[in-house]
Chains A and B, each alone.
Chain A
Amino acid sequence: MTVTMLKRTPLQIEKAVLFALIMRELKTRFGGRLIGLFWVLFEPVMTIYILLFIRSVLRARYLGPTIDYPVYHVCAMIPFFVFRSCWFRTMEAVSGNQGLFAYRQVKPFDAMIARITLEGWIYAFVYLCVVGTLAWFGMKFMPDDPLMFLWCWVVQIALGFGFGEVSLVLAHGKPHVKMFLHLLVTPIYLLSGILIPLSQFPPSVQYWLMFNPTAHLVEVERVAYYHEYTPIPGTNIWYPVMWALCSIALGHVLYRLNRLKLLRK
């Protein structure tokens, strides 16, 4: 029994490889069991519920007559988790797929794309679950500006991908650098205005905090959700977009220069 190999176009090969890699990722993340699927999807959902409970039941703040505190929270938090998760999943894309690069069709780049695709879908599901539940309790489901909100997600994923690609190359074979980056993400999270609104900081500190691209995204996401929300002065969606584009460009250059080194153990 044999299989005859057909000549395929590069696009067909790329599609086949991405599909194979996504299926592989699904398999390892879910462990091939239903309980695995449940775990992958509901672990972030549960985390978010617990965080929400603490923030909105125990420490709720009044934000005006129309803004629901939990939604205000979640609409910035989950996109940030997408960013974080895309970043680190991309960073580990080579080490997690080492054996599979033995097939000439499979390149590290494909592994990165497969990972962010999967991450995007997982978090889209998580988001719908969480916001759906909140809507059930009578809170806002649809953003005022859905397209803007979707655009923010795209930018978050792109930013995560760019950061991930750069750190993949720079931290390749250097576990301590990877550990440092894992530690770095917590201050970014805390200082992006998700848990602590940036308006609580004095303007002189705000000035510095707004160098963080995710802080801009948080503000824009909230404006997209609630038109009545007043963002920090200077908020600009193009600032994180530039970060994303620059980091992806830098990541591509680094990747291209080091693509041979990445395949070596």
Chain B
Amino acid sequence: MIELRNLTKYYPTERGRKYVFRDLNITFPGGHSIGVLGRNGAGKSTLLRILGGIEAPDNGEVICDESISWPVGLSGGFQGSLSARDNVRFVCRVFGAYGEEMERIIKYVEDFAEIGDYFDLPVGIYSHGMKSRVTFGTSMAFDFDYYLIDEVMAVGDPIFRKKSSAVFKEKLEGASVILVSHNLKEIAELCDSALVVERGQVNAFEDVQEGISYYQDLIKAVK
């Protein structure tokens, strides 16, 4: 279970404080996968970063008794000057996997990513799709109670999507996901509940279909 209590987050800018969230109270029930919907700049990624422990809220707290993955997204997590292999090694070391265990993880990611020689070339030269293969694969190699996934699957080709979906579904039998995506089909398929983020507020929907139709109405209203 993850609980957000009176969560407030703002960024100081030249034009005053920009609030992303104000006094947010949400409880994510255990064993539920949650899709996060919202337009660009609504605060979806910020939410993931707060849940992932990278950014601290300006007020309020995140209470959690389960393990949460790092936010798996295209930005961050990997050092551009290092190869994928070295980046995966780094993650292994941070999470305390050494020796044979590390080798197994690297092998797993290499097989999952299927990017051939690029696996030993600097991540900085990768395309979005290649990067997402590696970042997604790396997170799949570790066991968490919650996976924070930020639009990584969206940039993959159909074959990768199919494969990642399959691996992911297997994972979701024992774990949950908090998935940011603009692909409503994907959210409907993988998530049980939905959060719609808009203008500093978050509407929670127990049923994912309800959330999706609310979001679609929201988009229509803007159009």
Report if A3-B143 is in contact (Cβ < 8 Å); known contacts: A12-B96, A16-B94, A16-B95. Answer: yes
Q: Which of B66-109 contact A (CB under 8 A)?
A: 67, 70-71, 75-82, 86, 89-91, 93-97, 101, 104-105, 108
Alpha-carbon distance A193/B101, docked complex (angstroms)? 53
Q: Is B142 an interface residue (CB 8 A)?
A: yes
Which residue on A lies nearest to B71, using beta carbons?
A: A102
Q: Is A106 an interface residue (CB 8 A)?
A: yes
B52 on the A face (CB < 8 A): yes
The answer to whether residues A103 and B70 also contact, given A1-B141, A3-B141, A28-B81 and a CB cut-off of 8 A, is: yes
Q: Is A105 an interface residue (CB 8 A)?
A: yes
Contact between B108 and A98, CB atoms less than 8 A apart:
no
- Among the stretches B53-61, B153-161, B215-223, the one at the interface with A is B53-61
Q: Closest CB of chain B to A17's CB: distance in Å? A: 6
Complex Cα distance, B80 from A97, in Å, reads 10
A257 within 8 A of B: no
Determine the distance from Cα of A5 to Cα of B108 in the docked complex, in whole angstroms.
17
Classify chain A: how many residues form its interface, as a range.
Answer: 20 to 34
Contacts of A238 in B (CB 8 A): none
Q: Closest residue of chain B to A24, judged by CB?
A: B90
Encode contact with A along B11-25: 1 for CB under 8 Å, 0 otherwise.
Answer: 100000000000000
Is the beta-carbon distance between A104 and B55 smaller than 8 angstroms? no
Which residues on A sit within 8 Å (CB–CB) of B11?
264
B144 lies within 8 A of chain A by Cβ:
yes
Chain B residues whose C-beta falls within 8 Å of the C-beta of A263 in the assembled complex: 54-55
Q: Which residues of chain A have C-beta atoms less than 8 A from B141's C-beta?
A: 1-3
Residues of B within 8 A of A16 (CB): 93-96
With A99-B75, A106-B94 known, 15 other A-B pairs at CB within 8 A are A2-B143, A3-B97, A3-B105, A4-B143, A6-B96, A17-B93, A99-B76, A101-B54, A102-B52, A102-B70, A102-B76, A102-B77, A104-B70, A105-B95, A264-B11
A185 interfacial by beta-carbon distance below 8 Å: no
Say yes or no for A227: interface residue by CB 8 A criterion: no
Q: Are A104 and B52 in contact (CB under 8 A)?
A: yes
| Complex Cα–Cα for A101 and B53 (A) | 10
Interface string of B38-63 (1 = CB under 8 A from A): 00000000000000111110000000
A117-135: which residues lie under 8 A (CB-CB) from chain B?
none
Residues facing B in A61-109 (CB within 8 A) are 97-106
Interface centre among A3, A97, A100 (most CB of B within 10 A): A3
CB A244 to nearest CB in B, in angstroms, measures 29
The residue among B67, B82, B90, B104 with the most chain A CB atoms within 10 A of its own CB is B90
Query: Once the chains bind, are A23 and B90 in contact (CB under 8 Å)?
Result: yes
- List 10 A-B pairs, minimum CB-CB distance, nearest first: A104-B53, A20-B93, A102-B76, A102-B77, A2-B143, A20-B94, A99-B79, A103-B70, A16-B96, A99-B76
Q: How far is the CB of B10 from the nearest CB of chain A, in Å?
A: 11
* List of B residues within 8 angstroms of A23 by Cβ: 89-90, 93
Interface residues in A2-25 by Cβ distance below 8 A to B read: 2-6, 8, 12-13, 16-17, 19-20, 23-24
Q: Chain B's nearest CB lies how many Å from the CB of A92?
A: 13
For the complex, is A182 an interface residue (Cβ under 8 Å from B)?
no
Question: Which A residues contact B (CB, under 8 angstroms)?
Answer: 1-6, 8, 12-13, 16-17, 19-20, 23-24, 27-28, 32, 97-106, 260, 263-264
CA gap between A32 and B105 in the complex, in Å? 20
Cβ–Cβ < 8 Å partners of B105 in chain A: 1, 3
Complex CA–CA separation, A20 to B67 (angstroms): 20
Partner of A3 from B53, B81, B142 at Cβ < 8 Å: B142
Please indicate the chain B residues that have their CB under 8 angstroms from the CB of A3 in the complex: 95, 97, 101, 104-105, 141-143
A13 to B76: give the CA distance in the assembly, Å.
20
Shortest distance from the beta carbon of B149 to any chain A beta carbon, whole Å: 13
Q: Which of A12, A13, A100 is the one whose CB lies under 8 Å from B90?
A: A100
Known: A3-B142, A3-B143, A28-B82. A101 touches B93 (CB 8 A): no
Write the chain B residue with the least CB distance to A110. B94
Q: Find the residue from A1, A2, A27 having the highest chain B CB count within 10 A.
A: A2
Cα–Cα distance between A17 and B52 once the two chains are bound (Å): 17
Measured CA separation A101–B143 after assembly (Å): 20
Kindly list chain B residues whose C-beta atoms are within 8 Å of the C-beta of A4: 143
Q: Could you say which of A1, A13, A103 contacts B77, with CB atoms under 8 Å apart?
A: A103
CA distance A2 to B171 in the complex (A): 10
